[in-house]
Structure 1
Amino acid sequence: MNLTIKNRFTAELPADADTSNTTRQVANACFSYVLPTIPSNPKLIHASIETAAMIGLTEEDIRSETFTAVFSGKKILDGTTPYAMCYAGHQFGNWAGQLGDGRAINLTEIEYKNQSYTLQLKGAGKTPYSRNADGLAVLRSSIREHLCSEAMHHLGIPTTRSLSLMLTGDSVLRDILYNGNPAYEKGAVVCRVAPSFIRFGSFEIFAARNDLKNLQLLADFTIKYYYPEIISEGKDKYLDFFKTVAGNTRKMIIGWQRVGFVHGVMNTDNMSIHGITIDYGPYGWLEDYNPHWTPNTTDLQHKRYRYVNQPEIALWNLYQLANALYPLIEETSGLEEILNAYAIQFERDYSEMMRGKIGIALHNPEDTALVTGLVENLQLSETDMTLFFRNLSTITKTDTPEGALVKVQDAFYKPEEIKDRISDTWIFWFTQYIHRINKEMASDNQRKASMDAVNPKYVLRNYMAQLAIEAADKEDYSLLEEIHDVLKKPYDNQPGYEKWFAKRPDWAREKVGSSMLSCSS
């Protein structure tokens, strides 16, 4: 196994002077050196061949004992010094102070084909930032992270990648529902891959402590290696950096909204400065189109991170990053201009995204009302978002409104409700829709192809992940492999896998792991 080691983060940024692995406040440092907890009997249960190839590893490498040892935390690569990052954050809108990598340990940075990657183990043990936790992870949450990272990538949404999923051979005590009933589960480790794991909170901690020297060091480092296209100087450099981060974040959120993904924990420490999706905890996809749904039990009361709120929360988080960068700029006008532009551009991007989902290429004034009407209709009766938009592409210019409604009926969870007022409302909308697509230049087949390219047929529904988890807990990894393969081609028709293009089964409505999830991992 041959990796080109490039330890820029630890070489150029300040380290914690205390090398003990004790829970504490860490000052004047971007990271702390820490070794992974050595697993008793590591075993590779799945790896992404694509992610391995991305960083220069072969299938032969994956099969090697060295791969299992390194990416389980049992062996440290020569020339590397693993570390946990120091950062702060706002959690559920409240300042939480120092947080940091409580259960993640960065193994090293590497370079392959002029691209840089950070390799990080999640669930590798205690760090100075673990607070009262053990820093470990269980098979349940690790499978969810492993599957979702790759699913999001193939959906075309910027994300961390997942290289490998390992069992550690050790048991981990977890209270899955935080209800006072802890139980032992199988321990596991995921190797995550990203350009870096620098977060909004990485800047917030230095600003909060008035450590302007390290704030500037981190900002300059980030721009130098991850935004080299920024060539401005002085305050303009940091404004350009913030503008680029805001733009990348906006594009990521548009992707989430397009496929119905709900992150569940959009705290500022879970926001990447690369505009990529990180930290897959209690996430989920909209099953029925309920804009107010959140998958997170912790967020159940206030639903701060519900689907419809994600664009606004991203903007709120960007405000916190702006506040953190303010000491480097010392004026608000430029930052405010970028934040105001985010909101305006998001509305434009959202409108374009929704027109793409319904197959409207030409922009007409009536499109806004058409989209608004659709969003309202989807909430009249429980309607599967993924099935509805995928089936919408089968409607032709010559269909009747009544015929169009029949073509999407599989998306309704309670088809018996589609009558009287609800049926009339849908038929009215389809009358408008068919009239609208007849104004389009594209043929029915062309429109269907463009719609199918943005409306996935297969997404990682929570019940799918739960089935894979339950099978894996019995040492059957075939379902994990099957779902992983299906999600590599989410926009394609895949013969033999039609069972995954279906509404959530009734048993999954209330089942733990298939509906609501906690942050427990």
Structure 2
Amino acid sequence: MKNLKINNRFTAEMPADPDLTNEIRQVKNTVFSYVDPTKPSAPKLIHASEEVAAMVGISKDEIQSEAFLNVFSGNEILPETRPFAMCYAGHQFGNWAGQLGDGRAINFTEVEHDNAFFMLQLKGAGKTPYSRTADGLAVLRSSIREYLCAEAMHYLGVPTTRSLSLMLSGDQVLRDVLYNGNPAYEKGAIVCRVAPSFIRFGSFEMLSARNELRNLKNLVEFTIQNYYPEIKGDPKEQYIQFFKAVADKTREMILHWQRVGFVHGVMNTDNMSIHGITIDYGPYGWLENYDPDWTPNTTDNQNKRYRFGNQPQVAQWNLYQLANALYPLINEAEPLEKILESFINDFEENYKNMFLSKLGIFTSSEIDGKIIQGIEEILQLSETDMTIFFRNLSQIKKDDSVEMAFEKIEYSFYKPEEIKENTLSAWQKWFSVYLKRLQSETLSDEERAAKMNQVNPKYVLRNYMAQLSIDAADKGDYSIIEELFELLKKPYDEQPESEKWFAKRPDWARTKVGCSMLSCSS
């Protein structure tokens, strides 16, 4: 790690917890606690991203070194660094949860490379003062899902944390996968994830709720100075600009989620980054059949708060909580309310343009809204694979008949036998309008297809794909992890050698644990 340039701005400037014991407790008048990772008994490197390593200043050769293994398993602390866990609060499923904090994540160090700063964080590295009743550890299955998903999202063009490494700890971890009273031991694992910082909405909520306004002011100003340096003006104006910047970045992130069919599953305010990046990959999933009411989270199965179609509204609600946290510094509601009101209006306009690009419509027409509404409704008449439908839509040509166009998307139906009578008639009516609309597009069929294939991925990390890699890894076979890692680097490319992954969810995955819905269990 000879080229790692340590620069711990956060711990140098923010107030530290004076209590150095690693006991579960309420931590007040601070924003973090120093804590050392739990040393794993027999760490083993499963996979590492050479690109992310280079991004933070680690060479390809160093990845295979004993030093890399020791450092990023938590076995060894780098000189001039002091690992820490952050204190934050949050609203979970709409309810105030009070102090939460990094319960199984330890910020290892901050590094500077090529004029950029990165926080390196070990997830699953042991207990912290914020672990509550848990052990701070993580298991192999959830660690594989996080490791692969963060990188998959990056290559899809979705703002996200990155993954540096995935390691076995060599220890067994007790987990109840479905929270049904049947715990079992599983292989422990550690992921090193990378982000500009891991400051969350809940970081500000905690300080505001406890009326620690000096620390709140210091954290906001630290965040602006280091991550939003373009913001200028008097303090109040800076705080308002900061809130708008976070709202804008959050809106962009959610727009990308909707574009690729990603469902986060746990949009609590403590899982919302002030950088507008996707963090905390727990029970996430991609839509298989297009269902706006689907959530991958078993905990949310009844109320479906975090369902796919509700993600923009939840993001606005979470921003409202952030606005409440910042209000004591601003003491003026109107500018915050204006930003919150414009969030959904701006999102809806952005969403319309995004959706039209998925359909290959790049000019404007009065009927565009009806075309979008029409396809969103028809996709739900019978199970239709979102990813396959939109990808195959690019094969349609302006001069196709309705029958020819329909044939090109038929593969996306899970139950083709259901596409008859009223459902078939609805598809035919929509295609007749859609094909006529394409006639007014100036791009050639080839040009339009190329643009559509830049926004409609061919390959996403479906839950059953991740589960196949988990099942193999449990037996010591990491080849599917490597195969998926490479596949998902080019999600918009055809990759004919990997056509087997351009497939609908298999029937066996419909109800299998890990393939349909997931719990918040690590």
- TM (norm. structure 1) is 1.00
Q: What residue is the counterpart of 2:45 in the other structure?
A: 44
Q: Describe how 1:371-520 pairs up with structure 2 within 5 A.
A: 371-520=372-521
Aligned counterparts of 2:234 and 2:142: Cα–Cα separation in 1: 43
- Aligned counterparts of 2:138 and 2:177: Cα–Cα separation in 1: 12
Match in the other structure for 1:189: 190
Q: Which residue of 2 aligns with 1:90?
A: 91
SS of residue paired to 1:497: helix
What corresponds to 2:317 in structure 1?
Answer: 316
The residue aligned with 1:25 is: 26
- CA displacement, residues 1-57 of structure 1 (integer Å, 9 cap, x when unaligned): 220000110000000111100000000011000000000000000001111111111
Indicate the residue corresponding to 1:240 in structure 2: 241
> In the alignment, what sits opposite 2:290?
289
**Counterpart for residue 121 of structure 1:** 122
Match of 1:353 in 2: 354
Measured in 2, the distance between the counterparts of 1:181 and 1:496 equals: 41
Gaps in structure 2 of 5+ consecutive residues: none
1:138 partner letter: V
Q: Distance in 1 between matches of 2:156 and 2:329?
A: 37
Alpha-carbon distance between aligned partners in 2 of 1:517 and 1:41, rounded to the nearest angstrom:
28
Tell me, yes or no, if structure 1 residue 262 matches structure 2 residue 263.
yes
Q: Equivalents in 1 of 2:515, 2:344: separation in Å?
A: 33
Letter in 2 for 1:513: G
Residue deviations 1:229-262 (CA, integer Å, cap 9, x gap): 0012221000000000000000000000000000
Q: Secondary structure at the match of 1:187?
A: strand
The structural deviation recorded for 1:420 is 1.1
Alpha-carbon distance in 2 for matches of 1:7, 1:362 = 48
Q: C-alpha distance in 2, partners of 1:430/1:492?
A: 26
| Superposition CA RMSD, Å | 0.4
Residues in 1 aligned to 2:111 and 2:356: alpha-carbon distance in whole angstroms = 40
2:208 aligned partner: 207
CA distance in 2, matches of 1:515, 1:385: 16
Normalization by structure 2: what TM-score? Answer: 1.00
Residue type matched to 1:228 in 2? P
What does 1:141-220 correspond to in 2, within 5 Å?
141-220=142-221
Counterparts of 1:103 and 1:477, CA distance in 2: 24
Distance in 1 (CA, whole Å) between partners of 2:88 and 2:18 is 16
C-alpha distance after superposition, 1:126-177 (max 9, x if no partner): 0000000000000000000000000000000000000000000000000000
Instruction: Determine helix, strand or coil for the equivalent of 1:496.
Output: helix
SS at match of 1:73: coil
Provide, for residues 299-353 of structure 1, a one-character-per-residue CA deviation record: whole Å limited to 9, x for no partner. 0010000000000000000000000000110010100111111111101100010
Q: Which amino acid aligns with 1:334?
A: P
Amino acid at match of 1:111: E
Which position in structure 1 is the counterpart of 2:57? 56
2: CA distance, partners of 1:69 / 1:379? 50
Shift of 1:108: 0.5
Match of 1:216, as an amino acid? K
CA distance in 2, matches of 1:396, 1:145: 39
Give the whole-Å Cα distance in 2 for the aligned partners of 1:160 and 1:237.
Answer: 26
2:28 alignment partner AA: A
- For 1:496 and 1:158, the matched residues in 2 are separated by 28
Say which SS state the counterpart of residue 164 (structure 1) adopts: strand
Matching residue of 1:137: 138
SS at match of 1:510: coil
The amino acid of 1:380's aligned partner reads: L
Q: Distance in 1 between matches of 2:47 and 2:234?
A: 46
The CA deviation at 1:503 is 0.3
Residue identity over aligned pairs, in percent, reads 68
> Match of 2:252?
251
SS in 1 for 2:388: helix
- Partner AA of 1:14 in structure 2: P
Task: Provide the C-alpha distance between the structure 2 equivalents of 1:396 and 1:50, rounded to a whole number of angstroms.
Answer: 38
Q: Distance in 2 between matches of 1:423 and 1:405?
A: 10
CA shift at 1:184, angstroms? Answer: 0.2
Structure 1 runs (4+) deviating above 3 angstroms are none
Q: Structure 2 counterpart of 1:320, which letter?
A: Q
Amino acid at match of 2:373: T
The DSSP-based 3-state class of the residue aligned with 2:106 is strand
Alignment-mate amino acid for residue 337 of structure 2:
E
Distance (whole Å) between structure 2 residues aligned to residue 343 and residue 328 of structure 1: 25
* 2-structure distance, mates of 1:219, 1:420: 59
SS in 1 for 2:252: helix
Separation in structure 1 between the aligned mates of residue 234 and residue 410 of structure 2, nearest angstrom: 57
- The separation in 2 between residues aligned to 1:84 and 1:256, in whole angstroms, is 28
Amino acid of the residue matched to residue 97 of structure 2?
A
- Superposition pairs for residues 75-114 of structure 1, below 5 Å? 75-114=76-115
Kindly state the Cα deviation for residue 447 of structure 1 after the two structures are TM-superposed. 0.5
Matched residue SS, 1:345: helix
CA distance in 2: counterparts of 1:7 and 1:46, whole angstroms? 27
1:220-239 maps to which residues of 2 (within 5 A)?
220-239=221-240
Instruction: Quote the residue 2:70 is aligned against.
Output: 69
- The one-letter code matched in structure 2 to 1:144 is R
Q: Which amino acid aligns with 2:87?
A: C
Q: C-alpha distance in 2, partners of 1:395/1:7?
A: 53
The letter for the 2-side match of 1:64 is S
Residues 361-419 of structure 1 deviation map (CA, whole Å, 9 limit, x = unaligned): 00111000000000000001000000000000000001011111111000000001111
Paired amino acid for 1:292: D
Q: Secondary structure of 1:201's match?
A: helix
Amino acid of the residue matched to residue 61 of structure 2?
Answer: E
